[in-house]
Structure 1
Amino acid sequence: MPEPRQAVILAAGEGRRLRPITAHTPKPLMPFLGVPMLDWAVAHLVRAGVHRIAINAFHLADAVVAHVVGPLARRFPQVELHVSVEPTLLGTGGALARLRGWLGRSPFVVVNADAVFAADLRAMMASHADGSADATWMVSRAPGAADLRTVQLDASGAVSAIHPEARGDAWTFCGVHIAGPAVLDRLPDDPSCVVRAGYLPAIAAGARVQAFETDAFWADTGTPERYVDAHREGLAAADALAPLGLWPDRG
């Protein structure tokens, strides 16, 4: 199976838990260690060899578009950037369904714009290409997100269940995954969640969703407290983040 060379960054959310900051700044453009979170996502994908990236936008879409066609395009001239401006908030599933024509039948990477992590995306893509899974999820047991551990894996390392509440023996889904037609074909055109509308029916029908387990830095930025904690943890992982090339040479 070939490694994916295209990706979608989910950047349309309203970031309600981070208000009032997100009333004026879209969450993907909020800084993480001095660089917009959206830029970190693109840096991971470019380093992994992705050639074309679609970015969806809804909340404060004009600001997102201006950043993509301006600073982001100048920072990453080697990659094709496409913005999908949604007329209404479509959710993670609806956003991907709207991009069916752009994605075609080839596999693709999906990254939440607010997912900050240091795991090597190249290794995850190689693992997916070497296996026979229909999809691959990045999962973590980062101590700061124990309340998000809802992903159950079976003995072979495949996703077997999503629990309604966190469990100590489960894993956290990092918001980074590789998918293809087995998931995309199940998504309705209406607003939906990619996990509930795509992955769970696919798993029930026999699709294999492999886990890519990582112990590298990963942080949730969904609340003010977690956003601050992510910076503290990110500074501790600076050496792992530096190869992405978003900081001047620290000498």
Structure 2
Amino acid sequence: MTIKNAMILAAGFGKRMRPITETIPKPLVPVLGVPMLESIIAKLRTAGIQKIVVNGFYLKEQIQNFVEAYDDPMIIFSEEYEILETGGGVTQALPLLGNDPFVVVNGDVCWLDGTDAAIKRIMNFWDPDVMDALLLVHPKSKAYGYEGAGDFFLETHQKLSRRGEAAAAPYVYAGIQILHPKLFVDAPQGSFSLNKIFDRALASNRLCGLEHDGEWFHVGTPEGLCEVEDLLQNMLPAASKFDGT
């Protein structure tokens, strides 16, 4: 099936990126001169996404102004009046996203594509017969700037299982996913994490994963941002810029 709609999660506080995020929301922090939100919008458009919903709460006027500057009726701002977290933000935006599966991207994700565009790969891999949620995951050992214990195991038939009580898991969630709106039926009201939605899919054995085959960067702190920019400058061709295309 063709996936036409997407949402970018851009409402968070970005506390670990302070003092930069005291005056600018994290999705608008530039990487090599390009705001992360701009890069993500460009990649979604390149993948064929028609409608893009962007939510905002913290310093939301800046997010709204950025979205409206596109002067594109298919790039829509979803205003939040309280912090809703990832799950609550998507739930509020469901009337804009429609009744079919949609892409969701964290507004602070930084990556380079591999053999094909990551968003296009995950869209092509989506199989509604066996999936309610499909997460892009990245090998923890190859995740630049990531120091956590990992999130998931990737099992046979591309099924995901959580790290649980294990000391570590080999894959980290890469911040790009496809979700079926039926997962949000009777979802909690107000603020909640998308982890609750992942667990719903997991309970019915319909949570799947796709390994990212490019580079993935964790941009968590000002120091981490500098490290990522140094890495990207060495990885990108001399004449290129990190513009999301």
TM-score by length of 2: 0.88
Give the alignment of 1:43-192 within 5 angstroms. Answer: 43-70=42-69, 73=70, 77=72, 80-119=74-113, 120=117, 121-129=119-127, 132-141=130-139, 142-144=142-144, 145-163=146-164, 167=168, 169-185=169-185, 187-192=187-192
Identical pairs, percent: 29
1:42 corresponds in structure 2 to 41
Paired letter, 2:137: V
Conserved 8 A contact 2:34-2:243: no
CA shift, 1:110, in A, is 0.4
Q: Which moved more, 1:4-13 or 1:210-219?
A: 210-219
The 3-state SS of whatever aligns with 1:25 is coil
The 3-state SS of whatever aligns with 2:82 is coil
Runs of 4+ in structure 1 deviating by more than 6 angstroms, as ranges, are none
Paired letter, 1:161: R
Aligned-partner Cα distance in 1 for 2:198–2:174? 15
Conserved 8 A contact 1:150-1:165: no
Give the alignment of 1:154-233 within 5 angstroms. Answer: 154-163=155-164, 167=168, 169-185=169-185, 187-195=187-195, 197-204=196-203, 206-233=204-231
Conserved 8 A contact 1:140-1:218: yes
Is there any run of 5+ residues in structure 1 with no aligned partner, and where?
A: none
Aligned-partner Cα distance in 1 for 2:9–2:95? 17
Going from structure 1 to structure 2, the CA distance change for 1:194 and 1:227 (only over 3 Å counts) comes to same
Going from structure 1 to structure 2, the CA distance change for 1:243 and 1:22 (only over 3 Å counts) comes to closer
- Matched pairs, number: 237
Aligned-partner Cα distance in 2 for 1:8–1:135? 15
Going from structure 1 to structure 2, the CA distance change for 1:83 and 1:164 (only over 3 Å counts) comes to farther
Deviation per residue, 1:108-165 (Å, 9 max, x gap):
0000010011231111110114863222111101243252512122222211224367
User: Counting helix residues as a fraction of each chain, which structure ranks higher?
Assistant: 1
Going from structure 1 to structure 2, the CA distance change for 1:202 and 1:124 (only over 3 Å counts) comes to closer
Q: Which moved more, 1:128-137 or 1:212-221?
A: 128-137
Going from structure 1 to structure 2, the CA distance change for 1:178 and 1:236 (only over 3 Å counts) comes to farther
The 3-state SS of whatever aligns with 1:117 is strand
CA shift, 1:98, in A, is 0.4
Aligned-partner Cα distance in 2 for 1:225–1:165? 29
Paired letter, 1:187: A
**RMSD over equivalenced CA pairs, Å:** 2.4
Deviation per residue, 1:50-79 (Å, 9 max, x gap):
000100000101111111111xx16xx5x7
TM-score by length of 1: 0.86
Paired letter, 2:31: F
Aligned-partner Cα distance in 2 for 1:56–1:137? 20
Aligned-partner Cα distance in 2 for 1:97–1:130? 20
